[in-house]
Chains A and B, each alone.
Chain A
Amino acid sequence: DSGVTQTPKHLITATGQRVTLRCSPRSGDLSVYWYQQSLDQGLQFLIQYYNGEERAKGNILERFSAQQFPDLHSELNLSSLELGDSALYFCASSVVAVISYNEQFFGPGTRLTVL
């Protein structure tokens, strides 16, 4: 158990809908990352937050957005869902210390199925 929790585990929804995925980082970790994993593309970085502020953006679609709240949990919002959005969504967290290496700890993931 990495200490990172994600809810829900599974989500089945229809095209055009909107869903929210939730992540709670490990205690003490200030940085949260979101990744999408599909068979086609592998594990792709979407977005990073550090202590409530957006820190880096990757291959995140405009239909997707995220935020990190004062208690450091994060939510990933996916809207106008398409069949191709079906994937595993992982959250990871790390203690960001500039000097030393920062291991990212991954949660168990949310499996999203869009029908």
Chain B
Amino acid sequence: QKEVEQDPGPLSVPEGAIVSLNCTYSNSAFQYFMWYRQYSRKGPELLMYTYSSGNKEDGRFTAQVDKSSKYISLFIRDSQPSDSATYLCAMSFNSGYSTLTFGKGTMLLVSP
């Protein structure tokens, strides 16, 4: 079993839909949870990070972490064609020197 599991998709939705992206993980020592967005042929860019359990909102994006279930989610409201990309979840044990463990990514396609 991989440390971080993520459905590769693709997930196809119409413009304006609410999108839910999820990851599960096995190591309870993870404390920081990140979502990266990667456009085709580009490097990943950080969308949001959350420390421990709870919710965090940034515009159309909401990140949720449930440490008791080892489950994290990213919700995208009012999805746009420009949101079409691969979304990678990532986790680390601490913030200072910690390296990141990534899920394989979910490809999202938002059609106009």
Interface residues of A (CB under 8 A from B): 2, 4, 31, 33, 41-45, 48, 50, 55-56, 58, 90, 92, 96-109
Contact = CB atoms under 8 A, between A and B. Distances in A.
B95 interface: yes
Given A106-B44, A106-B45, A45 B51 contact: no
A92 B97 CA distance: 13
A48 B99 contact: yes
B32 interface: yes
Contacts, number: 62
Question: At the interface, is chain B mostly helix, strand, loop or mixed?
Answer: loop
Contacts of A31: 97
A99 B97 CA distance: 10
B96 A106 contact: no
A25 to B, nearest CB: 13
Contacts of A106: 36, 43-45
